[in-house]
Structure 1
Amino acid sequence: MAEKNKFGTFAGVFTPSILTILGVIMYMRLGWVVGNAGLIGAIAIIIIAHVIAITTGLSVSSVATDKKIGAGGIYYVLSRSMGIPIGGSIGIALYVGTAFSIALYLIGFAESFNSFFGYGMSVNDFRITGTIALVSLTALALISTSFALKTQFFILGAIVLSLISIFLGSTEFAPQSVSMLSTEGGASLEVVFAIFFPAVTGFTAGIAMSGDLKDPKKSIPVGTLLAIAVGLVVYIILAVFFAYNVNSEVLKNDYNFLMKIAFFAPAVAAGIWGATLSSALGGILGGPRILQAMSMDKVTPKFFGKGRGASNEPVNALFLVFIIAEAGILIGELDVIARVVSMFYLAAYGFINISYFLESWANPDFQPTFKIKRWIGLVGFIACFSVMFKLDMVAMLGAFAVIGLLYFGLQRKEVKIQSNDVWRSVWENIVNKGLKRIDDKVDENANWNPNIILFSGKSDHQSYLLELGKTVSGRTGIVTNFKLILDKKNNKPLKKAEQTIRNHTYKELGIFARQIKVDNIYTGITNIASTFGFSGVEPNTIMMGWPKGLENSSEYFKMTETLLHLDYNLLYLDFDKKTKFGTYSTVDLWWRETDSKNAEMMLNIARFIIASPKWNSTNIRVLFVNNNNVDITIIESKIAALVDDLRVNVTIKIINNAVEQRPFYTIIEEESCTTDLTLVGIPNYRIEKQAEFVLKTSNLFESIGSTLLVKAANNFNELDLDVIKGNLGSTELAELVE
């Protein structure tokens, strides 16, 4: 869809969401809820339902701001965060729930429409009216999505006028005393809740339009949560108003009592019809987009992924939504449809919440711009399935079974336990399957999870190297520190039990520690790098201190050549004993055109650094030396696009050097002399130039603070930094680079 046709927060998220929330249940069943549950019971039901809506809204908003969002709404964000199996299983449940909810709204419309005009009030009459409305709305959706969304503003106005008419209405049905608790002979609270719950599911209408939004990361959290909040206030106010102005018998037995108490009945009719039809239209627009997105991911048949026109309108998917909605209309009973819809949405919302909880707990790459507490997802999960259990345990188990089958079907994975020791077998199977999946999976750069071999040595500042090693590994990365014991003879290696080091420092940092005997430090490092690790958990990074004074060492030369050949990520820390890491408040990333792989690794490291408590208020700068008088705006836009894609908040500084042509390291000395931590890429220098590179780099370190040199392995992406092909960034480094 062209950018000019995309929608903002109000039109794209808030309006479709609030129109669905203030829909058929509010007009046709909220009075019945108050009549059966009493005022206190009704408010309790409203609040419990909104606990689920709010926690789910918060969870999905947080996940939605972590990734780029395309078409498919909740399915899209969950499938990209949690993978296709769980995203697909939840997406299918939501899709069916959305399609059935269309029938819910249209049966509610039929009840009001037929009553107002004196048409038949039988189930068959509702089916006929509902079917005609469904055909009409489907035709509208086929004609123009944009026009369909624009009609929402008129409907929203009609709802506001209808509420005003209700509040200004007659009090002829006012009770002598307000019923606070459920009345005798009324429906059970479980049944009342099940029928009411679809009222709060409307917030997904806006999320389903994610592919048609100008700025989904901003619009989804703001629009969704605002709609839920407004809906909560309106429902509580209406519940209190009904309890004090209409007696419980009228509330329980007359679904159209609003027409009788309203100041101007046609305004209420217009509000009911507008709300129910717009809610149904929201499902007709959103449901096909969920199915289309799933089909494009091959979760559902490819046929439903085909669209029409330049904006790829999901015509094929729309017809399936029509069929499912029509099946719901043929049921004809609003209360029955409401209970079915409740189960689908409760199951889906429960998994959405637990997905967010697991994502925030286990994924080191989860950095949403909309941050909430992790426990909110867990509360939402517990609330959803507690309510499901209370409403209908059999239906809950059925929902679990269906979603579970969908999940395992999409995952195509079997788990078998074959041991007498059940618990031991469970853990062994989980570890075994997990390692096999990791080992079989191609290493994807976007989800780089560090597995670091750290050689910290024994020094006064060892703790700082350990600290930084753990920081750049993130919350779930692995760091194994090796202490090399030099033994020229090395006749007997240490026993296996002696090789493991366990002390408070390593335990507190979460670092594994080993010690081994070696007859030569450099060959020891080479041997460990060549052999350490096992399938599924292979080390990918070597980290150690910067080798001052070793520029002429042939052994160091050979070790470096081997590490480069093994294709490890290399991290060298030059630790400034005087300034240490300063105030942990500034980090500089130095980029040049030849640093394309190193640049992506630096951004990954920066993302892990700012997630650390000590560095959480850090200011990060990306500095780029412009040696060729390229337009600054071109360079800034290119770097900004790369930085935005990896979700790291940074300041970009372009340094013009076309005229002066100052050496790269001289510029670093001037700009980063007071920086707490500076990251500089190691170029692809010719190996025979290593001594020269080490010497010049050591001289640089005398003028700046703690510095981390970065050399990325080949599995990192090459970021497009080359603003002018063939430009190497500086004469000094051009002599070193291949």
Structure 2
Amino acid sequence: MPEKKKFGTFAGVFTPSVLTILGVIMYMRLGWVVGNAGLLGTIGIIIISHVIAVTTGLSVSSVATDKKIGAGGIYYVLSRSMGIPIGGSIGIALYVGTAFSIALYLIGFSESFNSYFGYGMTVNDYRVTGTIALVALTILALISTSVALKAQFFILAAIALSLISVFLGTNEFAPQAVPLFSTEDAVPLEVVFAIFFPAVTGFTAGIAMSGDLKDSKKSIPIGTLAAIGTGLTVYILLAVFIAFTVNPELLKSDYNILMKIALFAPAVVAGIWGATLSSALGGILGGPRILQAMSMDKVTPKIFGKGKGENNEPVNALLLVFIIAESGILIGKLDVIARVVSMFYLTAYGFINISYFLESWANPDFQPSFKIKRWIGLLGFIACFLVMFKLDMIAMMVALGVITALYFALQRKEVKVQSNDVWRSVWENVVNKGLKKIDDKDDENTNWNPNIILFSGKSDHQKYLLELGKTVSGRTGIVTNFKLILDKNNDTPLRKVEQTVRDENFKELGIFARQIKVDNIYSGITNIASTFGFSGVEPNTIMMGWPKGLENSKEYSRMTETLLHLDYNLLYLDFDRKSKFGDYKSVDFWWRETDSKNAEMMLNIARFIIASPRWDNPDIRVLFVNNNNVSVELIHDKIAKLVEDLRVNVQIKIINNAVEQKPFYDIIAEESGQTNLTLVGIPDYKIEKQAEFVMKTNHLFQTIGSTLLVKAAHNFNELDLDLIQNELNTVDE
């Protein structure tokens, strides 16, 4: 098989880029820009425009020297660094924009060509000339990419001769004074900037040829930056020359002024035609290679990935470019399309810059041979979107809307390539820095942000415990479910990769899932509670099912004692398999004088329940058993003050029990028999009393529905529930 022909820096990158940069804007609009903006204003516009060009050129050059650059240019760079969804969405947008830009260049060529030879100047006349030019350029590209690239050398020579002819031209139109800034009757600078900016959007034409380069890591940085530098130099020199050579009023009104001042006008005409045709040819050569690369990655249909000949020329992709470009030519008036196309280019440049910034900031494996400062990428990203906003906010929104739709479509398609994207490194870096920030701060007297270790077991009602665990963790809390695999010998633990559980149920709820082997369930829970977690995000809550039948288990008692000693918040759910959580409409919180820490934890849980979509505006009651004949009004006012920041209507019920002295659990059974979820605090008790407490609690659970028992850690504040002492103080006063 013959070796594929490759191109060097000058033919493969510099020439297609500089021919697109030195285009129609330079010939037909630069004089108009000088006339309206003044000399210094024009230089300012040129420099600001090139900030985007230079930063993007530097960014893409740096990325290109870090990893192998394959076919597809910008698409390849973005897809391998930021992932297929972003790379593909930008690649599709850039491909369509490139195809439509061919139509824009050829319509510009048609206007100049028809005017010079005296042909018709109607839209239909432009369509005919533009179509003929498109067919000719497409045939040239089909014959050979090498021939097409060699043709660009003659066009480059024509542009060079045209510029020499201009600089050696007449000065009969010279102004009396050179205006430095825009005058009152001039077009606003924002409009002038918008007209000029497309002049600097052609430097990525060479990057699209990345798959056809001998050494892309060398050619892309040198060729791209050389093209940008050449364009910047030519535009500034030509702007200065025009300002000192032509009257500003003439510059504002005559778009063909360069032909009138040139030493040899046909040379300028040749330059205009060469610039428009070369820009169109650059799109015809580069656009198909973007589509071909995307098709090879299965982003777009496979048929466009097939090529022909020893160089694998993307014929099918080229035919689609032809169809899109021809549709643009047949439309004739492309003002709106041109605006959106410009936004697609700017969006692509913005993502190139942010791609470099994220790679250099977060990816430890990013080691480019062409090194630049990290802030350059961020500056380019910001500049791109500021310019987009300033030029045309509506077109910007359209472009971003289309790219966003493409992004989500590709994300659902789940296209993957054998390449790591930068987002994992970004998140790891963010997490690392965030953990350090969190670890530096004292966590006392801060809001409770749940980090729950959940032992849900495996049963038919496991999903309800998982669901409640996620509910009480709130929007920002963390839940990690552990599956304990009992293995009495436990000789060979699970490998690390096997310990992570990938399950749709956990993913849907946003719960992390792990599994480990243990030789004893209770010691396994204790070990996990003692060792799991790391600085900054240590678990603070243990949640599990209520231990029915374990009231006499010494192992369970030791486990509980250890968990209390470790100072975890403890949550035990007794799930009613019959009523479940009912219709998720009622929640009871039971408070008592000795429950001050538990009460604050319940307030936090109440906030999370209220915010949960599953518990849609439930009826919440706070019930307090008054065993000491304290003023009901005093109790009610104190509780109302505590719950007022929940910002929902909370019913407060005070149950006087000073005379009857009913057992606490009996009162709960009477009041909460039909409640969907009941929360009860676990009082302080000596561990030897655990069996008695468990048995009493089991009896309560037989009479009410699903119940969550709460035991708060010591870091919770003690709420002012010491009502007896408060009332005595009031009486004394």
TM (norm. structure 2) is 0.57
**SS of structure 1 residue aligned to 2:202:** helix
**SS of structure 1 residue aligned to 2:285:** helix
For 1:218, the aligned partner's letter is K
1:303 Cα shift? Answer: 2.2
1:272 Cα shift? Answer: 1.4
Ranges in structure 1 where 5+ consecutive residues have no aligned partner: 414-436, 451-472, 481-495, 498-522, 540-738
Distance 2:352 2:422 in 1: 21
Cα displacement string for residues 347-370 of structure 1 (whole angstroms, at most 9, x for unaligned residues): 111122112222222223222222
1:538 Cα shift? Answer: 11
Aligned to 1:18: 18
Aligned to 1:291: 291
1:475 Cα shift? Answer: 11
1:183 Cα shift? Answer: 3.6
Q: Aligned pair in 2 of structure 1 residues 25, 527: CA closer, same or farther (>3 Å)?
A: same
Shifted more, 85-94 versus 354-363: the winner is 354-363
Distance 1:51 1:353 in 2: 12
1:220 Cα shift? Answer: 0.5
- Aligned residues with identical type, % of pairs: 78
Q: Aligned pair in 2 of structure 1 residues 84, 448: CA closer, same or farther (>3 Å)?
A: closer
Alignment of 1:88-103 (within 5 A): 88-103=88-103
Aligned to 2:5: 5
Structure 1 position 33 matched with structure 2 position 33: yes
Q: Aligned pair in 2 of structure 1 residues 88, 248: CA closer, same or farther (>3 Å)?
A: same
Distance 1:230 1:138 in 2: 28
Aligned to 2:73: 73
Q: Aligned pair in 2 of structure 1 residues 531, 27: CA closer, same or farther (>3 Å)?
A: closer
Structure 1 position 387 matched with structure 2 position 373: no
Cα displacement string for residues 478-498 of structure 1 (whole angstroms, at most 9, x for unaligned residues): 9x9xxxxxxxxxxxxxxx99x
Contact 1:291–1:317, Cα closer than 8 Å, also in 2: yes
For 1:116, the aligned partner's letter is Y
Distance 1:531 1:300 in 2: 33
Distance 2:205 2:143 in 1: 20
1:36 Cα shift? Answer: 2.3
1:125 Cα shift? Answer: 2.7
Contact 2:53–2:228, Cα closer than 8 Å, also in 1: yes
1:128 Cα shift? Answer: 2.3
Q: Aligned pair in 2 of structure 1 residues 194, 448: CA closer, same or farther (>3 Å)?
A: closer
Distance 1:389 1:303 in 2: 37
1:409 Cα shift? Answer: 1.0
Q: Aligned pair in 2 of structure 1 residues 218, 262: CA closer, same or farther (>3 Å)?
A: same
Aligned to 2:249: 249
Aligned to 2:317: 317
Contact 2:354–2:381, Cα closer than 8 Å, also in 1: yes
Q: Aligned pair in 2 of structure 1 residues 2, 14: CA closer, same or farther (>3 Å)?
A: farther
**SS of structure 1 residue aligned to 2:75:** helix
Shifted more, 317-326 versus 177-186: the winner is 177-186
Say how many residue pairs are matched.
Answer: 453
Distance 2:348 2:53 in 1: 12
Ranges in structure 2 where 5+ consecutive residues have no aligned partner: 436-450, 453-488, 503-511, 515-733
Distance 2:407 2:383 in 1: 22
1:142 Cα shift? Answer: 1.0
1:123 Cα shift? Answer: 3.3
Cα displacement string for residues 632-666 of structure 1 (whole angstroms, at most 9, x for unaligned residues): xxxxxxxxxxxxxxxxxxxxxxxxxxxxxxxxxxx
Contact 1:210–1:216, Cα closer than 8 Å, also in 2: yes
Distance 2:422 2:190 in 1: 44
Alignment of 1:151-300 (within 5 A): 151-300=151-300
Contact 1:194–1:342, Cα closer than 8 Å, also in 2: no
Contact 1:9–1:219, Cα closer than 8 Å, also in 2: yes
1:222 Cα shift? Answer: 0.7
Cα displacement string for residues 181-202 of structure 1 (whole angstroms, at most 9, x for unaligned residues): 2244443322222222221111
TM (norm. structure 1) is 0.57
Distance 2:378 2:86 in 1: 17
Alignment of 1:503-652 (within 5 A): none
Alignment of 1:622-701 (within 5 A): none
1:107 Cα shift? Answer: 2.0
Q: Aligned pair in 2 of structure 1 residues 349, 118: CA closer, same or farther (>3 Å)?
A: same
For 1:238, the aligned partner's letter is L
Distance 1:295 1:443 in 2: 15
For 1:12, the aligned partner's letter is G
Contact 1:63–1:78, Cα closer than 8 Å, also in 2: no
Q: Aligned pair in 2 of structure 1 residues 406, 529: CA closer, same or farther (>3 Å)?
A: closer
Q: Aligned pair in 2 of structure 1 residues 270, 347: CA closer, same or farther (>3 Å)?
A: same
**SS of structure 2 residue aligned to 1:209:** helix
For 2:277, the aligned partner's letter is L
Contact 2:4–2:311, Cα closer than 8 Å, also in 1: no
Aligned to 1:140: 140
Structure 1 position 305 matched with structure 2 position 305: yes
Contact 1:37–1:181, Cα closer than 8 Å, also in 2: yes
Distance 1:444 1:172 in 2: 61
Structure 1 position 51 matched with structure 2 position 51: yes
Distance 1:318 1:530 in 2: 49
**SS of structure 1 residue aligned to 2:203:** helix
1:9 Cα shift? Answer: 0.5
Contact 1:449–1:476, Cα closer than 8 Å, also in 2: no
**SS of structure 2 residue aligned to 1:400:** helix
Aligned to 2:406: 406
1:331 Cα shift? Answer: 4.4
**SS of structure 2 residue aligned to 1:203:** coil
Contact 2:18–2:202, Cα closer than 8 Å, also in 1: yes
1:403 Cα shift? Answer: 0.9
Contact 1:108–1:276, Cα closer than 8 Å, also in 2: yes
Q: Aligned pair in 2 of structure 1 residues 320, 183: CA closer, same or farther (>3 Å)?
A: farther
Distance 1:336 1:447 in 2: 35
1:166 Cα shift? Answer: 0.1
1:314 Cα shift? Answer: 1.2
1:248 Cα shift? Answer: 2.3
Cα displacement string for residues 59-107 of structure 1 (whole angstroms, at most 9, x for unaligned residues): 1112222222221111012112221111001101211221122122212
Q: Aligned pair in 2 of structure 1 residues 443, 340: CA closer, same or farther (>3 Å)?
A: closer
Cα displacement string for residues 366-418 of structure 1 (whole angstroms, at most 9, x for unaligned residues): 222222222111111110111111112122122221111111110118xxxxx
Cα displacement string for residues 460-503 of structure 1 (whole angstroms, at most 9, x for unaligned residues): xxxxxxxxxxxxx999999x9xxxxxxxxxxxxxxx99xxxxxx
Aligned to 2:563: none
Q: Aligned pair in 2 of structure 1 residues 332, 236: CA closer, same or farther (>3 Å)?
A: farther
Distance 2:407 2:429 in 1: 29
Cα displacement string for residues 523-564 of structure 1 (whole angstroms, at most 9, x for unaligned residues): 99987987997558999xxxxxxxxxxxxxxxxxxxxxxxxx
Distance 1:528 1:153 in 2: 65
Contact 1:23–1:276, Cα closer than 8 Å, also in 2: yes
For 2:171, the aligned partner's letter is T
Distance 1:90 1:309 in 2: 28
Q: Aligned pair in 2 of structure 1 residues 216, 17: CA closer, same or farther (>3 Å)?
A: same
| C-alpha RMSD of the superposition | 3.6
Structure 1 position 111 matched with structure 2 position 103: no
Q: Aligned pair in 2 of structure 1 residues 258, 198: CA closer, same or farther (>3 Å)?
A: same
Distance 1:38 1:363 in 2: 45
Aligned to 1:607: none
1:167 Cα shift? Answer: 0.5
Cα displacement string for residues 713-737 of structure 1 (whole angstroms, at most 9, x for unaligned residues): xxxxxxxxxxxxxxxxxxxxxxxxx
Structure 1 position 351 matched with structure 2 position 351: yes
Structure 1 position 150 matched with structure 2 position 155: no
Q: Aligned pair in 2 of structure 1 residues 22, 448: CA closer, same or farther (>3 Å)?
A: closer
